[in-house]
Amino acid sequence: MLSILATIGVAVAGAAVAILPMTASNAAEACTTAYSGSAVYTSGQRASHSGRNWTAKWWTQGETPSTAGTGVWADNGACGGGTTNPPATCNHPNWVAGQFYPAGSIVRYTNGQYYRATNENPGYDPVISTWYWSPYTCTGGGTTNPPTNPGSFPVTEAQFNQMFPNRIAFYSYAGLIDAVKKYPAFTTTGSDTVKKQEAAAFLANINHESGGLVYVEEINQANWPLYCDRSQPYGCPAGQSAYHGRGPIQLSWNFNYKAAGDALGIDLLNNPDRVKNESSIAYQTAVWYWMTQRGPGTMTPHDAIVNGRGFGETIRSINGSLECNGGNPAQVQSRVDAYHRFTGILGVSPGGNLYC
């Protein structure tokens, strides 16, 4: 491959009705820190908006708390009082590639935006992974522009629907757009041709893995118990058969659920079914793999496209050990055929090196 009752007391017949004072048990919860459109919220983080507290179900930024939209926010009910913290002042150093940053470090990136190290790292690029860095809002210098507008995704909803005429409702275009915001470099790197080639390559691969965005879980249930690597120190807390393929890229194995969840700020090791139950999370796991994992290849699928290595190299990074070098030419051809079709819809050349 988610009420608040006011207690009143009524006197005996003929007496006046008295409203009892609110107690700690029935008073509205204090409002937590006010929602900020430029802040990043991960699973479990809270914000207040329009007199109500809200909890983020997964990574989000720029999605105003409500019960509409992608459903990223859970409504915790009305709130009152509380305090709101003003944004911090910007006086942070420029990011330096290769320099060690402990957790909590704040840097100014080359795009003028600020980022906070959510986990220590040896100078990784702040726009690559939400596991190591999160956008940081501050005032008093620099800019706080939000990351790349999701409208820059080079596939319209009409084109998406043309590519996937049989897709199920779970694989919504809105869920995809919500997911791509997690990795600002995804389909925004290089020329317009490269951006469209990357979008087509990504969609062609998830088309193959999910049967045209039809299947959310691995079809062959006999394989489900095979994806638990007990040698990992965290084991398989959700069960022996809990880590089978789910989502558009068919995320499999307990270590991949652990790594993807850590990167996305979601506990997928203990709750792998979120990949089959929540559209944005399903897509997020696919984008996470595309942007950060090499698989059996030598580079990420993202790097394969933006560095001119071609569509064939993305196949190698996703399932090269089984399909490439003559392993399963029919499967490779299926991916290439979809890539040709999608680049045609986007009006862009497929480029070279299509096979692996």
For residue 3, the model assigns a pLDDT of 31
Predicted confidence at residue 297, as pLDDT, reads: 93
pLDDT at 229 (0 to 100): 96
Alpha-carbon Rg for the chain in angstroms: 23
pLDDT of residue 199: 98
* Residue 354 to residue 335: CA distance in whole angstroms: 9
| Cβ–Cβ under 8 Å, residues 207 and 164 | yes
So what's the pLDDT on residue 343?
96
pLDDT at res. 57: 79
Q: In this structure, how many other beta carbons lie within 10 angstroms of the beta carbon of residue 298?
A: 13
pLDDT of amino acid 49: 83
Give per-residue pLDDT as tens, 63-76: 788 876 667 788 88
Task: Look at residues 25, 34, 31, 33 and name the one whose alpha carbon lies nearest to residue 7.
Answer: 25
The beta-strand segments (E) located in 81-209 are 88-89, 106-108, 114-117, 133-136, 138-139
Write out 70-99 in H/E/C secondary structure. Answer: CCCEEEEEEEECCCCCCCEECCCCECCCCC
- Residues marked active site are found at 209
141: left (phi over 0), alpha (psi -120 to 50) or beta: left
pLDDT of residue 27: 55
Per-residue pLDDT of the chain (356 residues; tens, 9 = 90+): 433 223 323 332 333 333 333 343 445 688 888 888 767 777 778 888 888 888 887 777 777 888 766 677 888 888 876 544 444 457 788 877 767 777 778 888 766 788 888 777 777 777 766 677 888 876 554 333 333 334 589 999 999 999 999 999 999 999 999 899 889 899 999 999 999 999 999 999 999 999 999 999 999 999 999 999 999 999 999 999 999 999 999 999 999 999 999 999 899 999 999 999 999 999 999 999 999 999 999 999 999 999 999 999 999 999 999 999 999 999 999 999 999 999 999 999 999 999 99
Q: What is the DSSP string of 210-266?
A: HTTTT-SB-S-GGGGGGG--TTSTT--TT-TTTTS-BTTTTB-SHHHHHHHHHHHT-
